[in-house]
Chains A and B, each alone.
Chain A
Amino acid sequence: MDSLCPVMPFVPFIALMQSVVEFDNVGLRYGAGVETLTDLSFTLYPGSFHFLTGASGAGKTSLLKLLYLAHRPSRGAIRMFGHDASTLPRDCLPGLRRRIGVVFQDFRLVPHLSTFDNIALPLRIAGVQEKDLRGTVAEMLAWIGLTERADARPATLSGGEQQRVAIARAVIGRPEMLVADEPTGNVDPEMARRLLQLFASLNKLGTTVVVATHDIHLLQEIEGAQMMRLDKGRLSDPTGSLRHPPRPLVLEN
């Protein structure tokens, strides 16, 4: 599979100060319908934190789908981790997807797998050995407070518990970019704060975070977070930070 994919030397993007994602005049339409997303141009840098807001139907989920490579744009170009994701051969996309953590709005847990196995899934897909992943998954279970439910199937978990499992699954591989669709929609305010703090912790380690939400009050929870607002498929930029981003965070060795 990888033989035809462009080889990029592994250098943390944060050190190179390269963009994680660049959208250049991107449009998306489904079939022959009108464009769901129109003329999107923005850049996301390593270590940035973005809240994506907008009314229902504004195109938030469609934009997230482009970000987690479920779709290619109908026009324009998307560069991701230094690759042209708009034209990269299909067989090369799994390598990029493993660098992205996704929290789906409907959780998408595998129904016949236990909580433990659902959280371990990205690590297993990435080829991590069983002996190496057990401790990591156990720590994550403890963090989300579901150690006692490690063997439970999703159908027996509450909505909030399922959401925590979905988030744990998205972050366990320490992704370079985290994309979350309404990740705090089913949890109580205390758990919502804890989950946002988890995102913030990852963000401080260099993970770029994009959180789609209706709740603009969440913006106050994360220092330095930027807002991307979608209105009828077009992106407005109230903080002015997307076209003129602040200086990216630089880690020093």
Chain B
Amino acid sequence: MLLDFALPAHDRKLIPEGRLSGPMPWVIAIMLFLTLLVAAGGLTLAEAARQGGQDFARQVTVQIIESDPAQRAAQRAAVTRTLRKLDSIAEVKPVPDAQVRALLEPWLGTGVIDADVPVPALVDVRFASVPTAETIEIMHMMGGTDIQAARLFQRRVALDALLGGIVGFIVAAFVIITVGGRFAAVEPGLLSGAHFPYYGWAVLALIPLAVMALAMLMARMTVISALKRML
């Protein structure tokens, strides 16, 4: 196919070759630009998730900013009590004031922070994890079939994928409409004829559904593969 580029000069003259003239190169440039941005963003997120992912997802720090030390302490105690009542929280650990001051010393200097300087109160919160493999194993030991376990996790993954797909679709629709509006305002000629067709919305709406179907298939294969390793 690449050899098709090596046409003799006389043949190349038959159809005039533009130099970035007409809409096609620009449309392709924009498409490729957006595709590369999305791919780069996806790869970066995947790498970030792979490296630090689980700890990041399972731990947050609550910061309480209040200048009055008594009120700050009371608020920290109230937040700690409230969080400890939540089932989805595995551990709530108020950070001692001395530790917070030690954290700030590299920026503010040693001995600068005394009791009168208001520092935020911090509370470390660890979320309880949902151990998928463990749940599968428990179901398995109670006589659950591979298909039963797979169906449960397919459903969970499908809901996650659908929710993510809807959010992604809404954001994409907003960008498409906004960018489309800008293009419409551009001087006719450069991108004349380039507009987003109405049927395009139907095509785009299918993409989240396709992603959901793919996610369900992957979940099913993963769960069944894990179960096949058990008796």
> Which residues of A come within 8 Å of B, CB atoms?
1, 68-72, 90-91, 93-100, 102, 108, 110-112, 121-122, 125-126, 152-153, 155-156
Docked CA distance A93–B142 (Å)? 10
Given contacts A69-B231, A152-B87, A155-B87, contact A1 B145 (CB under 8 A): yes
Do A125 and B141 have beta carbons less than 8 Å apart? no
Do B87 and A125 have beta carbons less than 8 Å apart? no
Partner of A155, one of B90, B135, B144: B90
Partner of B145, one of A70, A94, A96, A153: A94
Q: B90 to chain A: which residues have CB within 8 Å?
A: 155
Residue of B nearest to A101 (CB): B142
Residue of A nearest to B91 (CB): A155
Partner of A98, one of B130, B143, B230, B231: B143
| Between-chain CB contacts (< 8 Å), 27 pairs | A1-B147, A68-B141, A71-B231, A72-B231, A90-B231, A91-B145, A94-B144, A96-B143, A97-B143, A99-B143, A100-B143, A102-B142, A111-B128, A111-B129, A111-B131, A111-B134, A112-B87, A112-B135, A125-B139, A125-B142, A125-B143, A125-B144, A125-B148, A126-B143, A153-B128, A155-B128, A156-B87
Residue of B nearest to A72 (CB): B231
Do B147 and A121 have beta carbons less than 8 Å apart? no
Beyond known contacts A90-B231, A111-B129: 14 more, CB 8 A cutoff: A1-B147, A69-B231, A93-B231, A94-B140, A94-B145, A97-B141, A102-B141, A108-B134, A110-B138, A111-B131, A122-B143, A125-B143, A155-B128, A156-B87
> Which residues of B come within 8 Å of A, CB atoms?
87, 90, 128-131, 134-135, 137-148, 230-231
Q: B143 to chain A: which residues have CB within 8 Å?
A: 94-100, 122, 125-126
Q: A1 to chain B: which residues have CB within 8 Å?
A: 145, 147
Residue of B nearest to A104 (CB): B141
Docked CA distance A235–B145 (Å)? 33
* Distance of B196 from chain A, by nearest CB (Å): 43
* Distance of B164 from chain A, by nearest CB (Å): 20
Q: A97 to chain B: which residues have CB within 8 Å?
A: 141-143
Residue of B nearest to A2 (CB): B145
Do A70 and B141 have beta carbons less than 8 Å apart? yes
Docked CA distance A94–B90 (Å)? 33
* Distance of B147 from chain A, by nearest CB (Å): 7
Do B138 and A108 have beta carbons less than 8 Å apart? yes
Residue of B nearest to A151 (CB): B87
Partner of B142, one of A71, A98, A155: A98
Docked CA distance A99–B138 (Å)? 15
Q: B140 to chain A: which residues have CB within 8 Å?
A: 94
